[in-house]
């Protein structure tokens, strides 16, 4: 069935403060400390032991692999779209073996974009209930939250750079609301 799913990312227009992120391979990973330790070499990056933190390889703009801690034993794994999710899942399953875990391909469920610049916090604060001050929401902090009525995953990649993962069906809603907020905030 997933082969029949639309493979195009929703059209998100770039602005001075928003830019779409290219399609990615996304895996929902569930596993306790033993499963994560076994998966580390196969995933090619570590897993944060600190709640609500991301671990990634490479520079901010060129991460090859990322693991976002979203809940107890739950991570969102991000990789370039060129990486086959079936092959990645098989590699992780082989590395972890019989240790309890789950790896689910969610690549086509979500899309992503970045909000950047000196007003990024203000734009997000227009519909996100979190305190996004850098002291409270530092670089590499990530969490599942809401933006108005849409569930999102919010990851601070830099002092003025946020990565937002949103379900594809809500991308127009979230970017449209951001545009309305930007009219007053910028």
CA distance 9 to 158: 24
Residue tagged 């059209």 (tokens): 11
Spell out the per-residue pLDDT of the chain, length 186, in tens: 444 445 555 677 778 899 999 899 999 999 999 999 999 999 999 999 899 999 998 755 556 899 999 999 999 999 999 999 999 999 999 999 999 999 999 999 999 999 999 999 999 999 999 999 999 999 999 999 999 999 999 999 999 999 999 999 999 999 999 999 998 876
Asked whether 174 and 152 are in contact (CB, 8 A), the reply is yes
What residue spans define the domains of the chain?
13-185
Cβ within 8 Å of residue 17, ≥6 positions away: 115, 116, 117, 119, 120, 123, 182, 186
pTM of the model: 0.90
| Class of domain 13-185 as given by CATH | alpha beta
Residue 177: enclosing H or E segment and its boundaries?
helix 171-185
């Amino acid at each position: 069935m997933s082969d029949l799913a639309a493979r195009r990312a929703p059209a998100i227009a770039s602005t001075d403060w928003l830019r779409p992120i290219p399609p990615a391979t996304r895996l929902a990973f569930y596993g306790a400390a033993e499963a994560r330790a076994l998966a580390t070499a196969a995933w090619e990056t570590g897993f944060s032991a600190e709640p609500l933190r991301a671990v990634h390889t490479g520079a901010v703009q060129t991460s090859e692999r990322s693991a976002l801690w979203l809940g107890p034993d739950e991570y969102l794994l991000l990789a370039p779209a060129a990486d086959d999710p079936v092959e990645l899942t098989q590699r992780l399953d082989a590395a972890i073996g019989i240790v309890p875990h789950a790896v689910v391909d969610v690549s086509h469920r979500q899309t992503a974009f970045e909000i950047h610049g000196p007003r990024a916090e203000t734009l997000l604060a227009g519909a996100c209930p979190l305190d996004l001050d850098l002291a409270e929401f530092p670089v590499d902090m990530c969490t599942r939250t809401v933006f108005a009525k849409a569930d999102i995953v919010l990851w601070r990649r830099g002092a003025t750079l946020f990565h937002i993962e949103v379900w594809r069906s809500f991308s127009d809603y979230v970017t449209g609301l951001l545009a309305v907020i930007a009219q007053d905030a910028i």
